[in-house]
Every structure is written in structure tokens, then in C-alpha cells.
């Protein structure tokens, strides 16, 4: 199979675009506050270094050496039982089920971009009423914005690696980073910035439970887009002689700094205007709009920029989520890129509508089971089961199944003295951590 090559800078922007998503700007700040601020951040950073970094290199290595779709890469690199190891590739493809609800949330963001040009809610009750009305009742508006997200994502994928994905990320990622830096600089000049720093980085050890540890590891996987096949399929398009370690460090550093920066300016804005950090989508879609309203005209400008940054982060990740499936159809079913991209786009679009209906008050019962909506089930299954399990398979495959000499031939020179530490991490630390995460998030074990 012939896969078009990224330029080196194009790959870095695309991989960073895959990693930097809604998890960085939407989810990371509120889970950090919920689980002890600095205590959670410390566990998260340690997870990124000892688990996330190791698994990212493993996933890059499989794609870089395999030069195939996700399933074919495992088959090609397995020295034995090739037919069995192809199922590890399928597990990575299943991680793309995040798209069942991801483009729906991007649609919410489009709605809030438009709202930011007008009158923002002046109070939390008003913001809650607006949010509830939109999520639980405005079915056609949600479908409209969901359709917009589908059309943008599919158009980029149809244009391919060089003409679509690379160009898209080369524009959106630098713009996203500039917006984040600008909002952080603006926040640093506010009195409440010191309080935000304390909230984010001073640990509250009483909140550091086994659940907090599991959430930190799971969130590191989610925000780095590990276990979804995105990094693997992008790495198949890397030029020869690329340095995987430097690429991994760039992606992880960019991803982590954006998450920390987003948390700092968000909490600065909240504390400056007396708002309380909310959990879940309430932080971004309820608390923040009221804060932007309190800022006056400048608040509308900041709201537009913030939701644009959030949309850019979501769209770059959405493209990376669908691409592994598109490449699989091209490779295994001999489809044209146009047909493969449109087919997968429509597939996720259909289930996105089900995710919308599962949130609508009048239809929610039809798409709910066991006390969870279809939307909630997809969020739970991907974060608690599919992504960590796919990451576990990648770690075991590179650590125990691939020929040791083949792994060392690529990574030993690039890592130097760190190579034995990385190998120990990928063989023992990462698998144990990922098994713990799955068992904890499924409610099987805790301490």
C-alpha cells in the first residue's frame, strides 16, 4: 500500500492536532479542579511522562515500521501469530467510536460561537436554561451544527494527507496556539491569576483517591489521542529517518502546555468575576458565558476567540479520529479515498444523530439503557475500556512481541541512555497502569 508522506512539520502539526482536542480545553480544567488541583496535575504529568510518552512512541513505532493501515501494521510486524495480532489493530480502530458523540460536541461549540456575537447570559440560572434548552430540546439546530462538523471533517479527509489533513492542521494548529497564548497573557494581568495558579498547582492530597489516579491516566490517554489509531496511521506517513522520540516529545509537550494554559486562563476568568468552577460541560457552556458577559464588550471578543479555539481543537482531532478507518477501507477494500471518506463520514454522522436524540428530553428514553444515554455510554466505553485496552495491546506488542532488535534499531540511537528506562516502562509500568485504569473505571477494584 502506498501512503502519501507528510512533511516533517506537517506531521508534527497533524499529530499535535490529533492530540490537542476537546479534552485539553474543555475537560482537563474541570477534572483537575475536581480531583485535587495540583495533586491531580502531578499525577497527570507523571502519567504523561512514564505512560503516555512510552505508549506514544510505541504507537508511532508500529505505524512508522508497519507503513500500513492499523490492522495491516500489526500483521506485518508480528513475527508469529500474524492473523491473531490483526485484532489488536481492530481494537485501535474501535477507539474511533469516540466520533459517535465527538462531532455532536463540536456542533455545540459552533452554536456558542454564534451566540458569542450577540447577548451572552448574565447569570448562571440563565446560562443553565439556555444550555438545557439547546441540549434537551433544540434537535434541529443540533443536527444542523452536527452536519456542519461532518461536512468540514469529510471535506478535509477527501483531500487526503498532503492536500487535506496537513494543510488543515498547518492553518488551524498555529492559530489555536496563538489564541491560547493570547488569552493566557490577558489572564496574567488579572488579580485572580495568582489564585488560579494556586488552584491548579497546590495539591489537595485528600482528593487524590484511586478514582483520581485512574481518571488522570485515562485522561492522559484521551487527551493524547492514544489507542485510537490516529498517531499510528499518521506515523505511517512519516518520512524515512524521522526521529520518533523528538516527534513524541513535541506532541506531548504541546498537548500538555495547552491543557495547563487553558486551565490557568479559564480559572483566572472564573475567580476574577466570582464564579465557581463547575463540573462537566457546565464549566465551558454555563459558567464561562456568564463571566464573558460580565467583562462587557471585550468579553464577547474573548468568547468568540475561546470557542473558535475550542472548535479548532475539536475539528483537528475529529479528522484524526476518522482517518484510521478511511485508510483501512482504502487498503483492505480498495476503495477510492473519496468513497472511503464519505462512507465513514456518513457512518459517524448517523450515530451522531442517535447521540443527539439520546440527549433530547422527548426521545432520550428510546436511546438509553442501564441509567445511561447512548451519548454517555459511548463516552464511558471509549475512555474506560476501548482506549486503555488498545493502548495495553500496543504496549504488549512492542514490549514483548515485536523483535527486540527491530525495536532497538530505530529507538536505541534516538533515545540513548533513556532506552532501557523506556523499554522497562513499555513492558511493565504502562501495562500495569492501564489494567488498573480499566478495572477501576469499570468499578471492579479501588483502594
Q: Say what the pLDDT of residue 280 is.
A: 63
d(CA 133, CA 126): 11
Burial tier of 128 (Cβ tally within 10 Å: 0-12, 13-18, 19+): middle
Reported confidence tier of residue 393, pLDDT bands at 50, 70, 90: very high
DSSP of 113-182, one letter per residue? Answer: HHHHTSPPPSSHHHHHHHHHHHHHT-HHHHHHHHHHHHHHHHHHHHTHIIIIIIHHHHHHHHHHHHHHHH
- Classify domain 8-441 by CATH number: 1.20.1740.10
Confidence of residue 278 (pLDDT cuts 50, 70, 90): low
Contact at 8 Å (CB) between 44 and 219?
yes
Task: Please report which confidence band the pLDDT of residue 440 belongs to, taking 50, 70 and 90 as the band edges.
Answer: confident
Tell me: pLDDT of 187 over 60.
yes
| CA–CA gap between residue 48 and residue 348 (Å, rounded) | 29
Mean pLDDT (whole number) for 54-74: 93
SS3 264: helix
pLDDT of 130-156, one tens digit each? 999 999 999 999 999 999 999 999 999
Highest mean pLDDT (candidates 44-48, 364-368, 378-382, 388-392): 364-368
pLDDT of 425 > 90? The answer is yes
* Percent of the chain topping pLDDT 90: 61
CA end-to-end span of the chain: 48
Domain boundaries, given as residue ranges, for the chain = 8-441
CB 374 within 8 A of CB 37: no
Residue 39, pLDDT score: 83
Amino acid at each position: 500500500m502506498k501512503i502519501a508522506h507528510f512533511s516533517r512539520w506537517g506531521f508534527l502539526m497533524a499529530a499535535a492536532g490529533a492530540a490537542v482536542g476537546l479534552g485539553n480545553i474543555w475537560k482537563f480544567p474541570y477534572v483537575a479542579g475536581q480531583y485535587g488541583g495540583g495533586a491531580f496535575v502531578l499525577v497527570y504529568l507523571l502519567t504523561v511522562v512514564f505512560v503516555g510518552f512510552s505508549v506514544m512512541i510505541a504507537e508511532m513505532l508500529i505505524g512508522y515500521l508497519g507503513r500500513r493501515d492499523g490492522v495491516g501494521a500489526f500483521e506485518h510486524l508480528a513475527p508469529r501469530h500474524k492473523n491473531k495480532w490483526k485484532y489488536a489493530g481492530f481494537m485501535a480502530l474501535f477507539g474511533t467510536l469516540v466520533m459517535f458523540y465527538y462531532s455532536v460536541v463540536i456542533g455545540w461549540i459552533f452554536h456558542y460561537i454564534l451566540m458569542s456575537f450577540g447577548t451572552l447570559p448574565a447569570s448562571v440560572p440563565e446560562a443553565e436554561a439556555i444550555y438545557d434548552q439547546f441540549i434537551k430540546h433544540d434537535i434541529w439546530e443540533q443536527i444542523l451544527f452536527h452536519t456542519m462538523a461532518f461536512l468540514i471533517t469529510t471535506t478535509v479527509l477527501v483531500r487526503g494527507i498532503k492536500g487535506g489533513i496537513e494543510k488543515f492542521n498547518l492553518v488551524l494548529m498555529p492559530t489555536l496556539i496563538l489564541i491560547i497564548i493570547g488569552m493566557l497573557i490577558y489572564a496574567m494581568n488579572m488579580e485572580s491569576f495568582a489564585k488560579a495558579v494556586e488552584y491548579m498547582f497546590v495539591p489537595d492530597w485528600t482528593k487524590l483517591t484511586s478514582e483520581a489516579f485512574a481518571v488522570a491516566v485515562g485522561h492522559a490517554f484521551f487527551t493524547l489521542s492514544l489507542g485510537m489509531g490516529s498517531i499510528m496511521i499518521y506515523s505511517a506517513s512519516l518520512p524515512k529517518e524521522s526521529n520518533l522520540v523528538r516527534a513524541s516529545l513535541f506532541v506531548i509537550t504541546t498537548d500538555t502546555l495547552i491543557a495547563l494554559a487553558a486551565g490557568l486562563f479559564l480559572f483566572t476568568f472564573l475567580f476574577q468575576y466570582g464564579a465557581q468552577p463547575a463540573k462537566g460541560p457546565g464549566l465551558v457552556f454555563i459558567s464561562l458565558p456568564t463571566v464573558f458577559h460580565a467583562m462587557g464588550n471585550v468579553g464577547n471578543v474573548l468568547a468568540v476567540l475561546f470557542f473558535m479555539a475550542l472548535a479548532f481543537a475539536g475539528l483537528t482531532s475529529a479528522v484524526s479520529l476518522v482517518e484510521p478507518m478511511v485508510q483501512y477501507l482504502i487498503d483492505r477494500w480498495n476503495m477510492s479515498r473519496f468513497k472511503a471518506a464519505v462512507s465513514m463520514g456518513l457512518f459517524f454522522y448517523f450515530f451522531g444523530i442517535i447521540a443527539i436524540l439520546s440527549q433530547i428530553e422527548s426521545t432520550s428514553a428510546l436511546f438509553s439503557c442501564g441509567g445511561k444515554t447512548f451519548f454517555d455510554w459511548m463516552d464511558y466505553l471509549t475512555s474506560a475500556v476501548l482506549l486503555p485496552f488498545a493502548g495495553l495491546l500496543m504496549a504488549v506488542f512492542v514490549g514483548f512481541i515485536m523483535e527486540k532488535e527491530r525495536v532497538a534499531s530505530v529507538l536505541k540511537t534516538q533515545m540513548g541512555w533513556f532506552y532501557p528506562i523506556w523499554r522497562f516502562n513499555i513492558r511493565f509500568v504502562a501495562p500495569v497502569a492501564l489494567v488498573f485504569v480499566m478495572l477501576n473505571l469499570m468499578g471492579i477494584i479501588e483502594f
